[in-house]
Chain A
Amino acid sequence: MFDFFAETCYTVAMIAEETLRILTESAKYDVSCSSSGSGRRNAGGIGNGMPDGCCHSFTPDGRCVSLLKILLSNDCVFDCKYCMSRRSVDVPRATATPEEICELTVDFYKRNYIEGLFLSSAVHVSPDATMEQLVRTVRLLRTKYRFFGYVHVKGIPKADPLLVTEAAKYADRMSYNLELPSESSLKLLAPQKDKASLLAPMKQLQRERAVFRAEKRRGSLLPAGQTTQMIVGASPERDGHILRLAERLYRATGLKRVYFSSYTPVVQDGLLPCVQSPAIREHRLYQADWLLRFYGFDADELLPAEEDLPPDIDPKCAWALRNLHLFPVEVNRAPLETLLRVPGIGARSAQNILSARRYTALSFEHLKKMRVVLKRARHFITANGKFYGAGDMRTVRGLLAAGECAAGARQLSLFDAEAALTARTGEV
């Protein structure tokens, strides 16, 4: 039965371990790990897309490993202040060949280590030269290596638009990182980049996707869309400003996702803070972002432009406390949109409530049995007319914040199994 274990030997060119270390160490600060959104079919080779994405491992920093995140080169001609690959620092440099990247991807993939490739690069020689190498790599991967797994390509700002179009033919997702939430911060910290050089290719790709769809061509162009990333805490912009920017991007460029990356001081520079931006800030931004994308909230409802999200309670709680006149709502009657606005009730719980209440009038006992988390929700709902909340805003706020603090003593409020799930997504 297992005769295919019979011995035949062959060897392939493997990337050097040191090259791999250099090229992946600098790529890891890109927080996008998602491998979702593409249902690319296997057409006689290796790999396919998994529309829901797939996590293959988790590192001790709590992050998911889904893609092989690697740079083609860390040898940069740009000089962004916050970056450890910038021209003016003396660090070991390495550049991989497209073949090395392809071999590595395919061999990792078939062992089920990864869901695909996240390919990025420092600006090596020039933007065009770099983008050409990126395109060569993904073309090779798709055509010669017949790889149909997930491919995310990070675009190089200021590269020729034709190269951008070419890369999009092979990638599942592309991203241009905005890096900083305002033009002035960008000018200060990333002098060779400007907002236009980042937004122009995003808009170009958005147009090309629209044309592709309109012409109803076979397959799809960038099935997993575009994303971007902003560093939070390296520059003075407030959460309110950042969320409004994210909201505009979702609406104007059809972005799939905006990622936030807590600023980590990897280099010293007078223009940069020397402390790590607190992880809780990034966490709250993800929660608020989730509310924008899936729960029908507007940034205006969540906070004013010149304010930060409160660290002690999650943004949905904060909103609910400001709007106590809308609560409590009766779980047996409230429509889905209203249930989704109750702190502590997520999409799954809301759906379960909708489904179960068709058969019986739900009580708190029922909700508990259905594993609806009532710690926060009880202050905002009635079940069959009964209310078990604290009633006035100050007490509720105190209770909620105390609950979060108790968990926060263990670093964040992320650590029970249920919360662990929400941490990745930001769902509240």
Chain B
Amino acid sequence: MTYFFDGSKDAFLTAFLLAYRDEDAFLTAGSRQLALGQQSVFVCADTQKARKCEARLRGFDTACMHDLDMLLRSGEDARGQIAFLYFRLIAARRRAVRGELAEDAVSEAIGCIRRVALEAHRLKGFVRFMECAGGALYAPISPDNDVCDLLLPHFRARLPQLPFVLHDVRRAKAAVWDGAHAFTAPLARADVVLSADEEGWQALWRRYYASVNIPSRRRLQQMKGYMPVRYWKFLPECPAQTADALTTQNASPARCADAPLPPHGSAR
């Protein structure tokens, strides 16, 4: 039987209770092509059942809800099933199984959690804020996994006096620090007026980026290994262009076509 759920924690836990004894259970938070005659059910979150299930699982492994939170943030289609198999093993063994990496269910789940954590970690570096006219900072991101609120505490600790918005344009949501409160909110579109100096600082940054590169060493593969191309879209330093323009060393690096935002532009 295929169990569809909406990707939320409570719906997962409700589905888990239903599917636990089903040998052929398949949990998914996405859409799935069903084979002819295959049975499926849409599971809605049932808070009471979810709390009961959570308490049981916590009894086996106190830290397992953190794992679940990370797994459900994953952008992978298989996340529902990966989480299901992992939690079924916890329930079967009645203990934490995190270290049992020789088990498929565990290595899959831990791998998935690591990929989510890695992306959050990378974005701590790759987020680029733009300064708005009022002094607030705005950064569009488009992560593979649902991590924008994981970044909030990090930036809040270092920029306590500056309001900022981390805008996940892919999921149309934002993590916001307004100088006093941190929260997430749906955000389809933000109209942003940039500060007078923003363009100037971006130009200086592009200049800096181009001049610290050592053109005689070309290691593009290595560069892309550390900083996958899918993150380049929002980087004002325009890595693709610097990589191409290496031959004309002293030419001022121009703004690239898909640079984050034109002044007074908007992100969708």
Contact = CB atoms under 8 A, between A and B. Distances in A.
A and B from one complex? yes
B173 interface: no
A25 B211 contact: yes
B137 A60 contact: no
Given A61-B218, A410-B221, A6 B159 contact: no
A1 B203 CA distance: 30
Contacts of B219: 60-62, 411-412, 414
Contacts of A420: 221-222, 225-226
A9 B196 contact: yes
Most B CB contacts (10 A, CB to CB) among A4, A10, A15 go to A4
Interface in B105-126: 107, 111, 124-126
A55 B155 CA distance: 15
Interface stretch (B36-44, B52-60, B69-77, B96-104): B96-104
Most B CB contacts (10 A, CB to CB) among A12, A17, A148 go to A17
A126 interface: no
A319 interface: no
Interface string B180-204: 0000010000111101110011011
A177 B165 CA distance: 41
B133 A6 contact: yes
A356 B110 CA distance: 13
B148 to A, nearest CB: 14
Contacts, number: 215
Contacts of B246: 60
Contact of A60 (B100, B128, B203, B220): B220
Nearest to A104: B204
Given A4-B136, A113-B205, A59 B158 contact: no
Given A17-B207, A24-B211, A46 B162 contact: yes
Interface stretch (B5-13, B79-87, B237-245): B237-245
Most A CB contacts (10 A, CB to CB) among B107, B135, B204 go to B204
B136 A370 contact: no
B165 A2 contact: yes
A294 interface: no
A60 B225 contact: no
Most A CB contacts (10 A, CB to CB) among B102, B107, B242 go to B102
A323 interface: no
B100 A356 contact: yes
Contacts of A276: 216
Contact of A110 (B137, B220, B237): B137
Contacts of B100: 356, 359-360
A7 B161 contact: no
Contacts of B193: 5, 7
A369 B102 contact: yes
Interface string A43-81: 011111010001111111111111011000000000000
Nearest to A356: B101
Contacts of B212: 24-25, 27-28, 59, 63, 65, 69
Contacts of A415: 221-222, 225
Contacts of B209: 57, 59, 65
A232 interface: no
B213 A46 contact: no
B235 interface: yes
A144 interface: no
B214 interface: yes
Given A25-B211, A279-B217, A4 B204 contact: no
A276 B179 CA distance: 51
A143 interface: no
A424 B226 CA distance: 10
Contacts of A355: 99, 101
A108 interface: yes
B223 A24 contact: no
Interface string B123-148: 01111111111111111000000000
Interface string A398-428: 0000000000001110111100110110000
Contacts of A24: 208, 211-212
The bracket for how many chain A residues form the interface is 35 or more
A68 B196 contact: no
A280 interface: no
A57 B204 contact: no
B217 A62 contact: yes
B111 to A, nearest CB: 8
Interface string A356-369: 10111010001001
Given A4-B136, A414-B219, A64 B226 contact: yes
Contacts of A410: 221
B195 A68 contact: no
B163 to A, nearest CB: 5
Contacts of B176: 1
Contacts of A44: 160-161
A88 interface: no
A65 B246 CA distance: 17
B99 A57 contact: no
A169 interface: no
A42 B136 CA distance: 19
A63 B223 CA distance: 7
Interface string A99-114: 0000010011011110
A210 interface: no
A126 to B, nearest CB: 28
Most B CB contacts (10 A, CB to CB) among A12, A50, A56, A276 go to A56
Interface of B: 99-102, 104, 107, 111, 124-139, 155, 157-163, 165, 176, 178-179, 185, 190-193, 195-197, 200-201, 203-205, 207-209, 211-223, 225-227, 235, 237, 239, 242-243, 246, 252
Given A59-B214, A108-B204, A148-B158, 7 more contacts: A11-B196, A56-B126, A57-B239, A59-B212, A60-B246, A107-B197, A108-B205
- When A and B form their complex, which 7 residue pairs have the shortest distance between CB atoms, in order from nearest? A62-B219, A420-B225, A62-B222, A355-B99, A59-B213, A7-B133, A61-B217
22 contacts: A5-B134, A5-B191, A8-B133, A25-B211, A44-B161, A47-B159, A48-B158, A54-B125, A55-B227, A57-B125, A59-B213, A66-B125, A108-B208, A110-B129, A110-B159, A111-B131, A355-B101, A360-B100, A362-B102, A369-B107, A370-B107, A424-B226
